[in-house]
Chains A and B, each alone.
Chain A
């Protein structure tokens, strides 16, 4: 079986001392920021990407990925113990997890959340290993027309499915695409929107945009609306779930993992939607729905599995097609590019160590989180006592050092400050910044493929409709728009995300 050979190769990469260390570091950092409210994986990954230059691309990706899924674990810990979702995906976990904690069953809730997440992680690792190569092989046949249509579909879907105003999301995608055109045009050598500033000739760095908008802008917003929250930490008590707990949880865990995997490959749907859907399903099929909201373990098991599965399966389109399905994946893609790896289906054949090493490391990382997190819960919750006024200067400092180290040039910092202000304005106007980041990262590739496709078709725009695969993507794009605009669904969508 080829899949086992590949996985064994992946283990040989992921188990190297260096990669294990970065996997551990990533998981640790991820849990940390997952626990701390006010800083998310997106800002952290953006902040740390520049300092991964000094390590190998495989180790860098392994660490950044660890931050991403580690944050899901951390987020659920605080959701259960203090009713404070560290990450948006953990909002649902608060409902029953915190109730369990108040009944003195925080231990089993945490244990089930960790077990469910680990199971979901295992399922997703297998799914990626099984389907990844097939998707990449298919994508190798893609020409520029197919790629353009695929990116179009990805961007439209991400904007329409993401939570928030659809029209504004689409406008933000366009905004991102436009920002992506800044700098020297590869085809003609023209400097676009550079205003004779030498530093802008290479375009705007994606780290600058991401840190500015997601770290700086967020902090300004947080400082404006400072919320005082009294932290009541529930006692953990015994960790082990009873056999009844395990029996009740097994179904939700399996369903949650599959549901999360499904939502995971869809662009735009964050882990929050996966976990919410899982909660709704468990509540619906439960024999006694009234238990939900009063400490039903199913309400922890399902959503926790779902959000971890979603987080992990988001890697499928990123690694096999080079198309990010979320803001965080756009950053991962950017990190790949910074390390000189051209994203797309060729990653699997040209850098098998990266692909398989990363996938297996995610499984190892999940195992580490399962083993390490439960004993460390005391440390994590004590971190919650660190006040935000001491936390955010640290975030700013690390962001500044990271950005300065890009080119050892203060210009990037000036630009970051500017994007901080812009990002804050966007937040005030309720314009979601994540779709912008997707457009920004994909923009240059999209323009390039559009140009090439039209050059090859001698200027005939029908090329996007005459190539069968491209036509499929275009139809899917139209379908997404039509379905999402349908009034009935719009209302339901509002219920889920609003």
Chain B
């Protein structure tokens, strides 16, 4: 039974909606609800949260009955490294400037694929670096330093 649930697509989809709905209602309970005549800031989120709970419960129960499986792999490698590459870009833009940030995002994101080839990625970094510096910094005039001075 437990093993079956792990892969049950609609069960988890339902849980996700249910959880979001409950979470929204818990947070929004502190916002003034108001009346139908003059709605407070809590009215709309509360109603939406409630709707998500209903949808979530329905989808969850249906999942228990239909037992459809989650398709494809979880691609954990990409799921972890790719968001990290985006985080890295943001952080390095502020700390070190455009070129380091760009190099980091290209190398990291390329590393999220299983077909990572070092030489190829080096060339790609060079190519994308020149291209985006030309397009965004010299072309569009975005005000980012190529490398920040410490």
Instruction: Mark A residues whose CB is within 8 Å of B.
Output: 51, 54, 167-168, 170-171, 174-175, 177-178, 181, 185, 187-188, 190, 192-193, 216, 219-221, 223-226, 387-390, 392-394, 396-401, 404-405, 410-414, 416-418, 420-421, 424-425, 428-431, 447, 450-451, 454-455, 458-459, 461
Q: Cβ of B78 < 8 Å from any Cβ of A?
A: yes
CB closest residue in chain B, given A211: B86
Residues of B within 8 A of A168 (CB): 13, 59
Chain B min CB distance to A440 (Å): 12
Point out the residue from B32, B44, B114, B124 that lies within 8 Å of A181, measured CB to CB.
B44
CB closest residue in chain A, given B115: A389
Point out the residue from B24, B55, B90, B110 that lies within 8 Å of A414, measured CB to CB.
B90
- Considering the chains assembled together, what is the distance between the CA atoms of A455 and B36 in angstroms? 8
Chain A min CB distance to B114 (Å): 7
**Interface hub of A226, A404, A430 (most chain B Cβ within 10 A):** A404
Chain B min CB distance to A395 (Å): 9
Would you call B87 and A417 a contact (CB within 8 A)?
A: yes
Chain A min CB distance to B90 (Å): 3
Residues of A within 8 A of B55 (CB): 167, 170-171, 174
9 A-B pairs closest in CB distance: A224-B75, A410-B90, A459-B37, A413-B90, A417-B83, A429-B13, A171-B55, A190-B41, A223-B78
Number of A-B contacts (CB under 8 A): 192
Would you call B45 and A223 a contact (CB within 8 A)?
A: no
Category for how many chain B residues contact A: 35 or more
- Given the interface contacts A397-B102, A429-B13, does A178 sit within 8 Å of B124 by beta carbon? no
- Considering the chains assembled together, what is the distance between the CA atoms of A99 and B110 in angstroms? 36
Residues of B within 8 A of A224 (CB): 72-75, 78-79
Would you call B75 and A225 a contact (CB within 8 A)?
A: yes
Residues of A within 8 A of B142 (CB): 401, 405
Would you call B17 and A454 a contact (CB within 8 A)?
A: no
Would you call B52 and A175 a contact (CB within 8 A)?
A: yes
Would you call B106 and A393 a contact (CB within 8 A)?
A: yes
Would you call B24 and A178 a contact (CB within 8 A)?
A: yes
Would you call A404 and B109 a contact (CB within 8 A)?
A: no
- Given the interface contacts A219-B78, A390-B124, A397-B106, does A167 sit within 8 Å of B70 by beta carbon? no
- Considering the chains assembled together, what is the distance between the CA atoms of A451 and B41 in angstroms? 10
- Considering the chains assembled together, what is the distance between the CA atoms of A193 and B24 in angstroms? 8
- Given the interface contacts A221-B75, A224-B74, A430-B9, does A192 sit within 8 Å of B28 by beta carbon? yes
Q: Cβ of B99 < 8 Å from any Cβ of A?
A: no
Name 17 interchain pairs, CB-CB below 8 A, sorted by A.
A54-B141, A167-B62, A174-B48, A174-B52, A178-B49, A188-B40, A192-B41, A216-B86, A224-B75, A224-B79, A390-B120, A400-B89, A413-B90, A414-B87, A414-B90, A424-B79, A429-B16
- Considering the chains assembled together, what is the distance between the CA atoms of A424 and B86 in angstroms? 15
- Considering the chains assembled together, what is the distance between the CA atoms of A193 and B23 in angstroms? 10
- Considering the chains assembled together, what is the distance between the CA atoms of A413 and B13 in angstroms? 26
Would you call B41 and A185 a contact (CB within 8 A)?
A: yes
Point out the residue from A51, A216, A399, A429 that lies within 8 Å of B140, measured CB to CB.
A51
B 86-120 to A, binary, CB cutoff 8 A, 1 in contact else 0:
11011101100000011001100110111111001
- Considering the chains assembled together, what is the distance between the CA atoms of A185 and B43 in angstroms? 11
- Considering the chains assembled together, what is the distance between the CA atoms of A34 and B115 in angstroms? 24
User: What would 8 more interface pairs be, CB under 8 Å, given A190-B32, A429-B9?
Assistant: A221-B72, A389-B110, A389-B116, A410-B93, A414-B87, A428-B71, A429-B16, A459-B37
CB closest residue in chain B, given A399: B86
